[in-house]
Amino acid sequence: MSAALHKYRLQYDPKLPGVLGKIVDKAVITEIENGSLYHDIDPRIAEMFKHTYGKPVVGIVKGQPQQKELVVGVVLSGGQAPGGHNVIIGLHEALKKCGDGNRLIGFLGGPSGLLENKYMVVNDKIVKDYKNTGGFDMIGSGRTKLKTAQEFAIVANTCKHHGINALVVIGGDDSNTNAAVLAEYFASNGIAIQVVGVPKTIDGDLKHGGIEISFGFDTACKTYAELIGNIARDANSAKKYWHFIRLMGRSASHIALECALLTQPNVCLIGEEIKEKKISLKQVASTIVDSIVARANQGNNFGIVLVPEGLIEFIPEIGVLISEINELLSHNALEISKLDKEELLKWVGEHLLDTTKPVFASLPQAIALQMLAERDPHGNVQVSAIKTEELLMTVVQQQLDNLATKGEYKGKFNAIGHFFGYEGRAAYPTNFDADYCFALGHTAYVLIANGLTGYIASIKNSHLSVDQWQPQGVPLTSLMAVERRHGQDNPVIKKALVDLNGNPFKKLVANREQWAINTDYINPGPIQYFGPVEVSDIAPMTLVLEQS
């Protein structure tokens, strides 16, 4: 805690749009949009959320001072994302500005803190060391999913015990799904506790019409891009390694795409494209092989390949295999729990459909085992534990060996695998994330003070300068779909995947043939917190390309 940077980050005052900075105590909501919001929503969502469905997007304008005294609970949920502390501090500051009796209670270790009533009162003393810092260590986080009516009742009791009027859930798609379900539970049971979400995830996939970006994406991508840029420069200096770099992001490839736009690697695979075009594992490997051969012909036996961690699920034959394994594991949990690793491999191999058996059998054993690892509490396969870069390195090596036997490849292939994920989740937030999170915390306060529930805080025009940001509230049910998880149909917030018609992907497509052959790497360098705004206050490239 004593590093010089830490001291200077504590002194940074996050910027706020006027309506939140100067008049937060008089901020009221105004309806912005309703009609078009629910066009594509599965009709079952209206049935599942009878009390919270169908509300409008709301904006924030100047009105009358708020009167009510508020006790607010806050919980961090899911994986770390830089900026989470600033959401809490933004909420705390707004509560402080708007009433001496207002209080903020942080539940510890994620949603389980609500079940176990583990908490701390957030006050000036607590927050003083956390302003503009990364990580979630102020109150901790966790992945507990609140599922049963019994758990919801416990949460209600915990909140009543503290006199809580509203709960703020800072989380990704799964956690905000939890927030929506909890808001509906409270509303349908006549419990006067509001629930408001805040969009968090480095994955960048909690992004829909009303939500332009989730916090943490910017800092995580800039951290990875620095590392990729350094590796690319090392590769171009030593000229002897191909680096296969897998990047976090669970399903969506937003992180890989943003990092590619920032660093210009030789190959960047996009899971969504591979799924759409039904590209097989062999064909994915041949794309890389084409670049390796072309570069070897110029004497360049080195290069950079970016691999999104969710790629494995998007390769059609492996996606089918994973869905089948998900169903098998969820329907036979008891039988499977008694098996050791070898027995489990054999059991799954025997119980798969005849069409998928050969795909499973063709995988290196280590990868097959990684695919069978325990699902997370939301039923997701843990893609961060599957070493897709190594699978690709193996298949690429096989294809190069074949070409070499035919005399069609004479280069040298030395591959090194990397995985960047945890390295970026607790970094000091960029100025963009620091400001964005502080504004989201204030926005959550305004939604609560105006009596809303089942909403998520968001900022419109976030690609522009902070004075042009427009805070708003988006109804959570407008983001929802019905999906199959744990072998059942459940309401979930749709993950926003890479849009193949969107500007960021088009920019990659326009350049990737050149990047595959040339050495056009960009080394963006480390995140800058001070200095000219062109280096310290840059919005994520994906956001800028999408919004402009």
Site string for ligand FBP, 409-448 (x = CB under 6 A): ------------x---x-----------------------
Measure the CA–CA gap between 275 and 229, rounded to whole angstroms. 28
- Nearer to ligand FBP by Cβ, of 357 and 375: the residue is 375
Least separation in angstroms between residue 81's CB and ligand FBP is 6
Residue 202 found at the interface with ligand FBP (CB under 6 A)? yes
Query: Rounded to whole angstroms, what are the CA distances from 148 to 48, 75, 107, 168, 482?
Result: 15, 19, 19, 20, 18
Residue 379 touching ligand FBP (CB under 6 A): no
151 Cβ neighbours under 8 A, 6+ residues apart: 115
At its nearest, how many Å lie between ligand FBP and the CB of residue 342? 25
Residues in the chain: 548
Give the CB-side neighbour count of residue 207, counting CA atoms within 13 A.
22
In the complex, the smallest distance separating the C-beta of residue 171 from ligand FBP, rounded to whole angstroms, is: 7
User: How far apart (Å, rounded) are the C-alpha atoms in residues 199 and 440?
Assistant: 9
Q: Please identify, among the stretches 14-22, 48-56, 75-83, 410-418, the one whose residues bind ligand FBP according to the rule CB under 6 A.
A: 75-83
Asked if 82 touches ligand FBP (CB under 6 A), the answer is no
Residue tagged 């050791």 (tokens): 340
Determine whether 203 is an active site residue: yes
* Integer Cα distance of 132 and 417 in angstroms: 32
List the one residue from 199, 249, 303, 471 that touches ligand FBP (CB under 6 A).
249
Q: Interface with ligand FBP includes 176 (CB under 6 A)?
A: no
170 touching ligand FBP, by CB under 6 A? no
Strand-pair partners of 416: 243
Q: Residue 355 carries which DSSP code?
A: T
Catalytic choice (25, 124, 174, 203) = 203
Among 57, 181, 187, 248, binds ligand FBP (CB under 6 A): 248
CB within 8 Å of 210: residues ≥ 6 apart: 37, 57, 456, 458, 460, 472, 474, 478, 479
Residue 78 sits in the site that holds ligand FBP (CB under 6 A) = yes
Binding window for ligand FBP (CB under 6 A); candidates: 128-136, 199-207, 434-442, 479-487 = 199-207
Of 178, 370, 384, 478, which lies in the binding site for ligand FBP, with binding defined by CB under 6 A?
384
Tokens of 54: 């169908």
With CB under 6 A as the rule, give the number of residues binding ligand FBP. 16
| Interaction between residue 172 and ligand FBP (CB under 6 A) | yes
213 makes contact with ligand FBP (CB under 6 A): no
Nearest Cα neighbor of 178 from 158, 196, 204 is 196
Q: Which of residues 466-525 bind ligand FBP (CB under 6 A)?
A: none
Contacting ligand FBP (CB under 6 A), which of 187, 383, 400, 496? 383
Binding segment toward ligand FBP, per CB under 6 A, in 248-256, 367-375, 462-470, 503-511: 248-256
- Is residue 250 at the binding interface for ligand FBP, with CB under 6 A as the rule? yes
Which residue in 93, 151, 203, 212 binds ligand FBP (CB under 6 A)? Answer: 203
Shortest distance, position 483 Cβ to ligand FBP, whole Å: 15
For β-strands 480-485 and 488-493, DSSP reports them as antiparallel
Q: Which residue is nearest to ligand FBP (CB)?
A: 78
Applying CB under 6 A, which of residues 16, 20, 74, 81 lies at the interface with ligand FBP?
81
Instruction: Please list, in sequence order, all residues whose beta carbon lies within 8 angstroms of the beta carbon of residue 68, skipping any fewer than 6 positions away.
Output: 99, 165, 449
Alpha-helical regions (H) of 163-203: 173-188
Which letter does DSSP use for residue 272 in this model?
A: H
In this complex, which beta carbon is closest to ligand FBP, that of residue 250 or of residue 442? 250
For residue 458, give Cα distances in angstroms to 29, 386, 442.
13, 33, 10
Residues 255-294 that bind ligand FBP (CB under 6 A): none
- Write phi, then psi, for 384 (nearest 5 degrees): -65, -20
Q: Looking at the DSSP assignment, which residues form a beta bridge with residue 490?
A: 483
Stretch that binds ligand FBP, among 150-158, 242-250, 341-349, 493-501 (CB under 6 A): 242-250
Query: What is the distance between the alpha carbons of residues 318 and 312, in angstroms, rounded to a whole number?
Result: 7
From 194, 201, 291, 300, residue interacting with ligand FBP (rule: CB under 6 A):
201
Contact flag: residue 79 with ligand FBP (CB under 6 A): yes
Nearest-5° Cα angle at 270, 264 to 271: 160
What span, in angstroms and rounded, lies between the C-alpha atoms of 459 and 432? 12
Contact (Cβ atoms closer than 8 angstroms) between residue 267 and residue 232: no
Q: Which residues bind ligand FBP (CB under 6 A)?
A: 78-79, 81, 143, 172, 201-203, 248-250, 309, 383-384, 421, 425
Catalytic sites, residue numbers: 203
